[in-house]
Amino acid sequence: MAKGAIIYKTREEIEIMRESALLVSKTLGLMAAHIQPGVTTLQLDKLAEEFIRDNGGVPGFLGLYDFPNTLCISPNAQIVHGIPNDTPLENGDILSVDCGVLMNGFYGDHAYTFEVGEVDPAIKKLLEVTKESLYKGIEATRVGNRIGDISFAIQSHAEAHGYGVVKELVGHGLGRVMHESPEVANYGRRGKGKKIQNGLVIAIEPMINMGTAAIEQLADGWTILTRDRMPSAHFEHDVAVIDGKPEILSTFDYIYEALAAK
Ligand code: MG
Ligand code: MG
**In CATH, what number is assigned to the domain containing residue 219?**
3.90.230.10
> Is residue 1 a part of any domain in this protein?
no
Query: What distance in angstroms lies between residue 218's CA and the mean position of ligand 2's atoms?
Result: 20
User: Rounded to the nearest 5°, which phi and psi values hold at 66?
Assistant: 70, 20
Instruction: Assess whether pLDDT exceeds 80 at residue 117.
Output: yes
Taking each helix axis from N to C end, the angle separating 121-139 and 147-160, rounded to the nearest 10 degrees, works out to 160
Query: Tens of pLDDT along 131-142?
Result: 999 999 999 999
Region 34-47: what's the mean pLDDT? 98
- Total residues found in the chain within this entry: 262
> Is residue 136 a part of any domain in this protein?
yes
Identify the nearest ligand to the CA of 100 by its number: 1
Instruction: Assess whether pLDDT exceeds 80 at residue 3.
Output: no
Region 75-99: what's the mean pLDDT? 98
Query: What distance in angstroms lies between residue 100's CA and the mean position of ligand 1's atoms?
Result: 6
> Is residue 2 a part of any domain in this protein?
no
> Is residue 74 a part of any domain in this protein?
yes
Residues 154, 242: Cα–Cα separation, whole Å? 21
> Is residue 3 a part of any domain in this protein?
no
Tally of domains in the chain: 1
Identify the nearest ligand to the CA of 184 by its number: 2
| pLDDT of amino acid 205 | 98
With cut-offs at 50, 70 and 90, classify the pLDDT of residue 97.
Answer: very high
Identify the nearest ligand to the CA of 111 by its number: 1
With cut-offs at 50, 70 and 90, classify the pLDDT of residue 1.
Answer: low
What's the sign of the alpha-carbon dihedral 158, 178, 15, 103?
Answer: negative
Region 22-43: what's the mean pLDDT? 98
> Is residue 17 a part of any domain in this protein?
yes
Note down the domain range covering 189: 11-261
| pLDDT of amino acid 82 | 97
pTM above 0.85, yes or no: yes
Average pLDDT value for the chain? 97
State the Cα angle at 229 between 116 and 134, rounded to 5°.
60
Query: What distance in angstroms lies between residue 117's CA and the mean position of ligand 1's atoms?
Result: 24
Query: What distance in angstroms lies between residue 234's CA and the mean position of ligand 2's atoms?
Result: 10
> Is residue 4 a part of any domain in this protein?
no
Instruction: Assess whether pLDDT exceeds 70 at residue 166.
Output: yes
Query: What distance in angstroms lies between residue 110's CA and the mean position of ligand 2's atoms?
Result: 6
Query: What distance in angstroms lies between residue 2's CA and the mean position of ligand 1's atoms?
Result: 14
Residues 57, 65: Cα–Cα separation, whole Å? 19
Query: What distance in angstroms lies between residue 261's CA and the mean position of ligand 2's atoms?
Result: 28
| pLDDT of amino acid 262 | 87
| pLDDT of amino acid 4 | 87
Query: What distance in angstroms lies between residue 36's CA and the mean position of ligand 2's atoms?
Result: 25
Residue 75 DSSP symbol = E
With cut-offs at 50, 70 and 90, classify the pLDDT of residue 2.
Answer: low
Q: Which of 80, 96, 84, 87 has its CA nearest to residue 223?
A: 80
Around ion ligand 2, residues with a beta carbon closer than 5 Å are 109, 203
